[in-house]
Amino acid sequence: MKEKLGLSKGKIAEARSLASGIVAPVLDFIDGHTTVTVERATLRIAGADGADADGVPVPNLIVDQLRAADPATLEGGALEGGALVHYVNALIRTGGGTADLNRRIAEGYRVGSEPLGDREAIRRKGAQLVDIGLGKVKANRMQRSAKMEEWKGRNNDPLLYLIVATGNIHEDVKQAEAAALRGADVIAVIRTTAQSLLDYVPFGATTEGFGGTYATQENFRIMRAALDAVGEREKRYIWLTNYASGLCMPEIAAMGALERLDMMLNDSMYGILFRDINMYRTFVDQKFSRMINSYAGITINTGEDNYLTTSDAYEKAFTVLASQFLNEQFGYAAGLPARLMGLGHAMEMEPGIKNGFLYELSQAQMAREIFSEHPLKYMPPTKFMSGDIFKGLAMDTMFNFVSKATNQGIHLLGMLTEAIHTPFMMDRYIAVENAKYVMNSMESFYDEIEFAKDGLVVNRAKEVLSQTIEFLHEIGEKGLLDAISTGMFAEVKRPKDGGKGLEGIVKKGNNYWNPVEEALKAGLGLPGRGRDYSASSAGDASSAGVAKG
């Protein structure tokens, strides 16, 4: 990709080195801990499924049973030894399959009530269950790759990403089909309000969400089937997106991997800053979820655009870039190659700023050049949208222009009625048509345009990069956790020992066993527990990446 800003390679390398140093001590904590939702995700991949008469999912029943047990009397320990050992032991003891055991658990059977049998037999059976679960994930990855190869070149560039959010999965399907038939490449099913704060995943299809639709495995299956049908008709792969975030981040990643989702919103700090989820819990959960996403070939989308809802987009642009560097390092530590990291940013400056368009162009081009192997996700203007839909459409048109002019990878379409109501299907139609018109009319613009070497666009990018390095130095001196607690990101302060989900963190015991984690690490080429992650290992992961898209 042609570079146009003349950014210092040395400064970019310095920023990455600083980010790696900031992330390292957090990784040490992550590797020594598990959480209730990591254990539930492990159980799901191994076959735990279903719910009791009250709708409590079987994985929750198992983990809750183990947490309530007296560790002194529970052979093998409770969660500090891993939940799967008790599930597999119960499977061997009862003599049936996973479906039968899941039914028994839903009816009240307690997996921890059985004394542990032969450990080697448990390990063999556990490995078999994990092979089956991850085999499904691998098959999904291969199916996606085959279809993308078969229909290569038929998607838009950048991918046009459109949201649906009725609350009813069956109504979502109608909107998704209409959008895909009109030209959208990526359908994102917006999650119902506050689902990120539920420490369980609802079971089955749902029809009563609020501002979105519940993320459930059955809803994933329904939408995947619908989009596959459209894809076969259009001979174009339609990507499906949901949210692997919140208190059930790893579980939703597991469900998405099993149902062949293609993208997941999966930020390292979003839940801490904007949902007040405990930072220790979030960091442990995000790594396990990203390991699953990487193994499944799912592209993650990070959430730096959200910073600009609470901070000024011009004054605090450097916080976005700093977060991108940190998200990148957390991603590499979880085995994510650059080609699966849709790092986020947004066009959110106050539209009255003189030369605001040029500043936005500079910001987008800077991100594109620094993260040249990543499929960046560019977000539309929302903060300053108003009831003036004509101005809103003009703002979205300029956003479409910047996105194509700077070679972005994933383009979330803006809505002219963003500030008024949940967009209608007509609003989505206009959004798709606007983007297709603008981007088609400037197809070769990136290759044709140059920037003045000492002009506004170039100097602004250099300024933001320098500010980012200063900011990363400050974070390094404080430590990331203290930086978050003092409000250095998005001007939001979160205490280290506060927030939701703190009680769900468990220190791994010496006998901790998680064959899913072992298999993921082996498949992704990650070091075992306790080894530090160096900048060189991150570089190795980066070299595996390819160009955007």
How far is the C-alpha of 169 from the C-alpha of 167, rounded, in Å?
Answer: 6
HEC string for 116-164: CCCHHHHHHHHHHHHHHHHHHHHHHHHHHHHHHHHCCCCCCCCEEEEEE
The H or E element containing residue 35 is: strand 33-35
Q: Which of 128, 123, 517 is nearest to 295 (CA)?
A: 517
Contact in structure between 353 and 359 (CB atoms under 8 Å)? yes
Q: Which residues does 280 contact at the CB level (< 8 Å), separation at least 6?
A: 29, 33, 496, 502, 505
3-state helix, strand, coil in the chain (%, to 5): 55, 10, 35
* Alpha-carbon Rg for the chain in angstroms: 23
> From residue 445, how far is each of 72, 217, 307, 368, 530 by CA, in Å?
68, 42, 30, 15, 48
**How many H-runs (helices) and E-runs (strands) does the chain carry?**
21, 11
Contact in structure between 468 and 15 (CB atoms under 8 Å)? yes
User: Helices marked H in 166-314 — which ranges?
Assistant: 169-182, 217-234, 249-258, 270-275, 279-296, 307-310
Q: Which residues pair with 412 in a beta bridge?
A: 161
The CA-to-CA distance between both ends of the chain, in Å, stands at: 13
How far is the C-alpha of 91 from the C-alpha of 135, rounded, in Å?
Answer: 20
Residues belonging to the active site: 270, 305, 377
Contact in structure between 328 and 535 (CB atoms under 8 Å)? no
Mapped onto helix, strand or coil, the DSSP state of residue 243 is: strand
Contact in structure between 187 and 432 (CB atoms under 8 Å)? no
How far is the C-alpha of 143 from the C-alpha of 148, rounded, in Å?
Answer: 9
Question: Would you tell me how many other CB atoms lie within 10 Å of the CB of residue 450?
Answer: 8
Tokens 């997996």 label which residue? Answer: 111
How far is the C-alpha of 377 from the C-alpha of 10, rounded, in Å?
Answer: 25
Furthest-apart CA atoms within the chain: distance in Å? 74
Contact in structure between 201 and 251 (CB atoms under 8 Å)? yes
How far is the C-alpha of 271 from the C-alpha of 249, rounded, in Å?
Answer: 10
How many residues are given for the chain? 549
> From residue 397, how far is each of 13, 185, 250, 251 by CA, in Å?
34, 19, 36, 37
